[in-house]
């Protein structure tokens, strides 16, 4: 009886694709917004790709946020590619937005990561925009309640995380709040993972300081609470991706919840990414499941991680080729104050999967 739920799922899925109801992260298509679109008039909102009507409404009423949100969509693409550069699934399919393949349309581990990263990125971008004074609607974040430590004082402009989280969640969760679309399990999964993304963002808030005092003596330090770079948040989320929990949608108490599939009856933790469907191994090309395969991918012969030729090429073997790299070399420091370098060429051996 194993095949049955899968058939059902596939049917539901085909239906969802046809009617285009699985909107979730289609807003990442904003990364393709032409720079010529000024986004300074509410009519521009309906020209944006990938938005559900609630998001178009948010665009109209918060037009000043839209440049930041477009920027966030671009950052998601960059951070995702960077975090997965050494993996078989390398996030290239995110560029198909808004028409994703099954790797991102189904409740996979990969989609769990992308939902979390997207939610983190939008709130990150808004909080940062508050700090740089780009948004009329918000100012610097609050001065922390605790003392800043000896020799330090609070100052500078903190990232306004609460505003970022509030507005970011409104925008990126809107597709999951649309009634009567998609499966309930998928919606719960997407909302949960988005919340995990925001939690990772909250956890990235750290104390940053700048030195003052005569000739860099650092007798006084001004400190504020600032967010880490998005790529660091992405690295944290990748760790959570690697240990993500498979869940099922099951009654627990009076309502159905997502609970870990394997035996134990603990609820899902707020910090863990969850997924409903297992992914293929991404070794071979299979458009149907959203696998691009690893043929012609570069691999690392000396690594023993996921980018090693053994793992990346799935045991198929690899072909060597030589590549030329140009580097700065023989650098010399001149008093005062510049450096001159020569350009050197060097050949390196590289490998691509068969
Ligand atoms: C919107 O931006 C364009 C291009 O920068 C400018 O020509 C136009 O006057 C602006 N419109 C409004 C309403 O600010
Ligand atoms: C953060 O932004 C919100 C929204 O504008 C604002 O109400 C709040 O005062 C800001 N926080 C601080 C501490 O300025
Ligand atoms: C990511 O994988 C795809 C499919 O295998 C490949 O075409 C692309 O070159 C890869 N991108 C990078 C940056 O390695
Ligand atoms: C290959 O992996 C090794 C060990 O992890 C690392 O030191 C090296 O920089 C990698 N080479 C490339 C080309 O990425
Ligand atoms: C390879 O793996 C071993 C054991 O798993 C580990 O101790 C070692 O540091 C790894 N080497 C590299 C280059 O990553």
CA distance 125 to 98: 21
Residues 325-351: tens digit of each pLDDT:
999 999 999 888 889 999 999 999 999
CA distance 197 to 116: 4
Supply the residue whose CA is at minimum distance from atom 9 of ligand 3.
297
Section 89-100 average pLDDT:
91
210-243 CB burial, b ≥16 within 10 A, e <16:
eeeeeeeeeeebebbbbbbebeebbebbbebbee
Reduced 3-state DSSP string for 221-246: EEEEEEECCHHHHHHHHHHHHHCCEE
Atom of ligand 3 nearest to the CA of 91: 1
**Which of 20-24, 162-166, 272-276 shows the lowest mean pLDDT across its residues?**
20-24
Q: Nearest ligand to the C-alpha of residue 38?
A: 1
Using alpha carbons only, what angle is made at residue 297 by residues 274 and 244, rounded to the nearest 5 degrees?
10
CA distance 255 to 332: 70
Residues 272 and 280: beta-carbon distance below 8 Å: no
DSSP 89: S
pLDDT of amino acid 12: 47
Cα(243) to ligand 1 centroid in Å equals 48
Supply the residue whose CA is at minimum distance from atom 11 of ligand 2.
141
Radius of gyration (C-alpha) of the chain in whole angstroms = 23
Using alpha carbons only, what angle is made at residue 120 by residues 182 and 114, rounded to the nearest 5 degrees?
50
Atom of ligand 1 nearest to the CA of 40: 1
Section 42-67 average pLDDT:
92
Longest dimension (CA), the chain: 78
Supply the residue whose CA is at minimum distance from atom 3 of ligand 2.
138
Closest CA to 277 of 295, 258, 263, 264: 258
Helix or strand run (H / E) with residue 201: helix 184-203
pLDDT of amino acid 262: 82
Residues 233-247: tens digit of each pLDDT:
999 999 999 999 999
Structure tokens at 264: 């134990």
Number of H helices, E strands in the chain: 9, 11
């Amino acid at each position: 009886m194993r095949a049955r739920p899968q058939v059902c799922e596939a049917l539901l899925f085909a239906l969802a694709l046809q009617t285009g109801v699985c909107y979730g992260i289609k807003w990442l298509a904003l990364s393709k917004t032409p720079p010529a679109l000024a986004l300074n008039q509410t009519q521009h909102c309906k020209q944006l790709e990938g938005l559900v009507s609630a998001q178009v409404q948010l665009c109209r009423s918060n037009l000043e946020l839209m440049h930041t949100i477009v920027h966030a969509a671009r950052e998601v693409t960059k951070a995702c590619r960077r975090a997965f550069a050494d993996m078989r699934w390398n996030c290239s399919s995110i560029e198909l937005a808004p028409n994703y393949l099954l790797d991102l349309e189904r409740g996979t581990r990969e989609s769990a990561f992308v939902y979390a990263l997207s939610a983190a990125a939008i709130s990150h971008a808004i909080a940062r925009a508050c700090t740089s004074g780009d948004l009329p609607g918000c100012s610097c974040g609050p001065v922390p309640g605790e003392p800043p430590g000896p020799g330090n004082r609070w100052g500078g402009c903190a990232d306004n995380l609460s505003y970022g989280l509030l507005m970011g969640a409104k925008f990126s969760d809107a597709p999951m709040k649309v009634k009567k679309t998609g499966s309930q399990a998928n919606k719960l999964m997407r909302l949960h993972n988005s919340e995990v993304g925001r939690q990772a963002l909250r956890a990235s808030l750290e104390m940053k300081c700048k030195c003052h005092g005569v000739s860099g003596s650092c007798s006084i330090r001004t400190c504020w609470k600032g967010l880490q770079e998005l790529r660091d948040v992405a690295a944290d989320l990748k760790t959570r991706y690697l240990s993500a929990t498979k869940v099922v949608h099951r009654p627990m108490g009076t309502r159905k919840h997502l609970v870990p599939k394997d035996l134990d009856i603990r609820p899902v933790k707020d910090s863990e990414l969850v997924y409903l469907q297992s992914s293929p191994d991404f070794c071979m090309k299979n458009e149907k499941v959203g696998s691009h395969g690893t043929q012609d991918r570069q691999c690392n012969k000396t690594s023993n991680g996921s980018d090693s030729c053994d793992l990346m090429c799935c045991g198929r073997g690899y072909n060597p080729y030589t590549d030329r790299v140009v580097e700065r070399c023989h650098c010399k420091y001149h008093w005062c104050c510049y450096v001159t370098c020569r350009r050197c060429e060097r050949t390196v051996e590289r490998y691509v999967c068969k």
